[in-house]
Amino acid sequence: ESYDMGGHDTYMHKEISEQPEAVDRVLRGRIDDRFSTVHLGGLNLDAREARGIRRVKILGCGTSYHAGLIGAGLIESLARIPADAEPASEFRYRNPVVDPDTLYIAVSQSGETYDVLAAVQELKRKGARVLGVVNVVGSAIAREADGGTYVHAGPEVCVVSTKCFTNTVVAFALLALHLGRIRDLSVSEGKRIIAGLRRLPAQITEILESEADIKKLAEEYAGAQSMMFIGRVRGYPVALEASLKLKEISYIHAEAYPASELKHGPLALIEPALPTVAIVPDDDLLEKNRAALEEIKARSGRILAVAHREQEKADHTIVVPKNENELDPILMGIPLQLFAYHTALAMGRDIDKPRNLAKSVTVE
Ligand code: AGP
């Protein structure tokens, strides 16, 4: 990929549009169909070491932290290793207990984010093993880590991250599958996930083809002062990332909550002027998510759902193609990148260079 805009008006639009090829690239050459597993060359982690991991702690900032939250969910469900993600900036200031049986993973698009780099250096000082999930080849975090994997999203110029987020989550799916197959994940489960991964590029293309409809919706919601984003479990990091994207480029205030937490406070905010974007996958939590939509509707809240089929309680639904439950978050975030983009465009914002932000934050 070159740095020219290739016919797009903004880098953000170009980068959103490049996602089918970008995902294809992160998968390419890594899938081993014979054993229903994946090979990630640079991990520097043999099977015995992988079996000895007791916990996984993922560190990143902003969008990379959100990708890490989805990554932690993938590692827990596919490799059955307790995993969580934390903002790198918080982690290094709380004098964390550094445990030799924990695998630490630093996530960064630029590979230069100071808070992440400093967390990696602190961990290494304390003898931890740190892997990098990084986009920019040869960057500081990639060099400092003991091993890791590149996410191969290609150059990302727009200050807000889109294709790199998607590719990072796919890279985590590969890592989770790799760890799972070394541990307890069966051959048939491995096959199921591999088939799901292979469907992603075409499904992303399908989502991108509905851009005109998403644009109309964005123009309708662009007048809002504030928006709420909700999701449960796998859907919650999708809500967090979609709300960050909207804030960054449209300057509309947005907050993300687990749908299950609504009744513990934010329900008080619901009224017609505060639209809610709800992530509603067709999975074991569908009925729970629908109950949340009912709560919002009962308070006359407007709802835009991102779902696998029309949601009766929602005012509008963006229907996305279904994949395996574990991989659904990858697809559900993509229409909301376009939603943020078209909202900001309708408001006349400087999309590639939002105010007060820099592409890589190399200072504390
Ligand atoms: C992404 O849209 C943001 N601009 C920002 O949150 C970014 O993800 C964060 O600063 C981390 O950057 P990195 O991935 O290059 O480390």
What average pLDDT values come out for the chain (364 residues) when binned by 10 residues?
Answer: 79 96 97 94 91 97 98 98 96 91 97 96 95 97 97 92 98 98 96 98 98 97 95 97 97 96 92 96 96 95 97 97 98 98 95 86 81
How many angstroms is it from 221 CA to the middle of ligand 1?
25
Spatial CB neighbours of 255, under 8 Å, sequence gap ≥ 6: 226, 228, 229, 243, 266
Evaluate whether 285 touches 233 at the Cβ level (below 8 Å): yes
DSSP state letter for 76:
I
> CB under 6 Å to ligand 1: residues?
61-64, 108-110, 113, 116, 159-161, 248, 357, 360-361
Which ligand 1 atom sits nearest the alpha carbon of residue 245?
A: 2
Give residue 1's pLDDT.
45
Structure tokens at 298: 């009962």
Rounded to whole angstroms, the Cα distance separating 280 from 288 reads 9
Which ligand 1 atom sits nearest the alpha carbon of residue 161?
A: 2
Tell me which of 124, 288, 353, 359 is the catalytic residue. 359
Residue nearest to atom 16 of ligand 1 (CA): 108
How many angstroms is it from 189 CA to the middle of ligand 1?
33
ipTM above 0.85 for this complex: yes
Which ligand 1 atom sits nearest the alpha carbon of residue 159?
A: 4
Give residue 47's pLDDT.
92
How many angstroms is it from 64 CA to the middle of ligand 1?
6
Does residue 359 have an active-site annotation? yes
Beta strand segments in the chain, E? 31-32, 37-38, 55-60, 83-87, 102-108, 129-134, 147-150, 226-231, 253-258, 276-280, 303-307, 316-319
CA distance to 43, 58, 72, 102, 182, per residue, from 51 (Å): 14, 18, 17, 11, 7
Rounded to whole angstroms, the Cα distance separating 33 from 30 reads 10
